[in-house]
Amino acid sequence: MRIAGRIMLRRGQGKVFFLEIRDWTERIQVFVGKNQIGEAGWAIAGHLDLGDLVGVDGRLGFTKTGELTVFAGHLVFLAKSLLPPPEKWHGLTDQEQRYRQREVDLFSNPESMNVLLGRSKIVSAFRSVMAAKGFVEVETPTMQSIAGGAAARPFVTHHNALDIDLFLRIAPELYLKRLLVGGMERVFEIGRVYRNEGLSPRHNPEFTMMEAYQAYGDYHAMMDLTEALFASAIEAVGGGFVRTWGEATIDFTLPWPRRTYHDLVAECAAIDPHDPDAVVERARAAGIETAGKDQVVVLSELFEAVVEDQLTGPVFVIDYPAEICPLTKRKTTNPAVAERFELYIKGVELANAYTELNDPILQESLFRRQLAGLPAEESMAKMDDEFIRALRHAMPPAGGLGIGVDRLAMILLDRSTIRDVILFPLMRPRSAAPPP
């Protein structure tokens, strides 16, 4: 049999020694004996160090102690490690180095390898589900002249030939909806979005979002799709539907509860959300500044302060106040309520979806309106003339969905920080001179 991999351990015993070789799936022991591989092979073997990559041809068998072993008949030097590997027992434990030198982390800590391969399984599962449901994967601009589709501070860059500033996208939403207008009835995109905001265990400036749009669907269809996607992701990484995340236990058994925003505020804050005085009073009690802010902005901040942390299991929070959802269709029975949901798990927002607003007249007026208490930067409502023009050609009624892939990976792979599920999280560059 023939194997290749990195030398992780070497145990010498005179004219025979044992190697532990690891590839990205497994480790196996190799027996190398002077009499067995001959003078030339023994000469090569003398130069092997921990960290080197070698190829081995030999017979598969068992040692005296019963360990599965490749008895080397021939050794091939594949690549030399000039730098010493991390300590063989503890591996690389320093967080900074694990992120800065991810390649070393990956080959020395199998746990890290499994987590990051697990992330890839989740993304593959998403693609399989979407393909099975007839969605096509597309790619839309990541450099945009208007950073629309979400509320976030964008990164700015510059195109020299056109001499224009461009924003790195904060969401692909508006372009994907233009594809609906064009007749691509089921589209999705998995890609990076960029938000110029702080770093935290749940925030990296670039992160991966999946957005999907389904013509003739609505937000209920998106809830069903979300459940199907998560179920498939859970099956892909294994471990069942009742899972631990840190100290917590999360039960993903389908279906998940669908609770209205209104009911949750009433329940968690113990007030009537329709009573403006009660909302303001309760918000002040929670330490929220209310002066000069619209009622819905206060309500929204109250929701975050009082409700979000109590949303433990997977729960769809549905039917948001229309004023804070400028891209969402209103309920035909109640125009004050938008057909939107957010999926929360242990207080973390994992998904956000709408029945998409497809009325160009209303959309334009919502883009022009600015809610009091919200600076332009924090508003989703940014005028995008190209998008409005597209809507004027008639966009089919549709459901749209966005899922934070990194946060899902964190929860399904039981990691407490988003940096553990991103191959190369953003770090401040080292100022010291790099090694030669």
Partner RNA sequence: GCCCUCCUAGCUCAAUUGGCAGAGCAGCUGACUCUUAAUCAGCGGGUUGAAGGUUCGAGUCCUUCGGGGGGCACCA
Pick from 3, 18, 44, 138 the residue near RNA by CB under 7 A: 18
For residue 382 the two structure tokens come to: 């940014």
Instruction: For residue 320, list its beta bridge partners.
Output: 338
Q: Does 197 bind RNA (CB under 7 A)?
A: yes
CA angle 38–41–42, rounded 5-degree value = 80
Give the x/- contact pattern for RNA in 348-387, rule: CB under 7 A.
--------------------------x---xxx-------
CB of 89 to RNA, least distance (A): 3
Q: Indicate the residue among 123 and 348 with the shorter CB distance to RNA.
A: 348
Phi, psi at residue 123, to the nearest 5°?
-65, -40
By CB under 7 A, the residues from 276 to 335 that bind RNA are 297, 300-301, 304, 324-326
| Binding span for RNA by CB under 7 A among 110-118, 185-193, 358-366, 415-423 | 415-423
Q: Report if residue 428 touches RNA, rule: CB under 7 A.
A: yes
Q: What is the DSSP letter of 103?
A: H
234 or 302: whose CB is closer to RNA? 302
Binding mask 60-99 for RNA (x = CB under 7 A): ---xxxxx-x-------------xxxxxxxxxxxxxxx-x
Among 3, 22, 44, 50, binds RNA (CB under 7 A): 50
**Count, residues near RNA per rule CB under 7 A:** 69
| Interaction of residue 207 with RNA, rule CB under 7 A | no
d(CA 324, CA 308): 17
- What is the phi/psi pair of residue 316, to 5°? -85, 115
CB atoms within 10 A of CB 81: 14
**Judged by CB under 7 A, which stretch of 8-16, 132-140, 262-270, 390-398 contacts RNA?**
8-16
Q: Binding to RNA (CB under 7 A): which residues in 93-132?
A: 93-97, 99
Rounded to a whole number of angstroms, the minimum distance from the CB of residue 262 to RNA is: 16
- Region binding RNA by CB under 7 A among candidate stretches 14-22, 139-147, 264-272, 387-395: 14-22
Dihedral sign for Cα atoms in the order 226, 231, 236, 239: positive
The residue (of 99 and 252) whose beta carbon lies closer to RNA is 99
Cβ–Cβ under 8 Å, residues 343 and 402: no
Instruction: Closer to RNA by CB, 93 or 253: give it.
Output: 93
- Residue of the chain from 141, 182, 201, 257 that contacts RNA (CB under 7 A): 201
Nearest residue to 170 (alpha-carbon basis) of 424, 359, 402 = 402
Pairing of strands 258-260, 315-321: parallel
DSSP string, 214-277: EET--HHHHHHHHHHHHHHHHHHH-S-SEEEETTEEEE-PSSPPEEEHHHHHHHHH-S-TT-HH
Give the β-pairing of 2-12 and 334-345.
unpaired
State the Cα torsion 212-194-339-283 to the nearest 10°.
160
Q: Two tokens at 368?
A: 């022009």
- Contact pick of 56, 188, 419, 422 for RNA (by CB under 7 A): 419
At its nearest, how many Å lie between RNA and the CB of residue 360?
19
Binding site for RNA (CB under 7 A): 9-16, 18, 20, 29, 31, 33-36, 49-50, 63-67, 69, 83-97, 99, 150-152, 195, 197-203, 297, 300-301, 304, 324-326, 374, 378-380, 416-417, 419, 427-428, 430-431
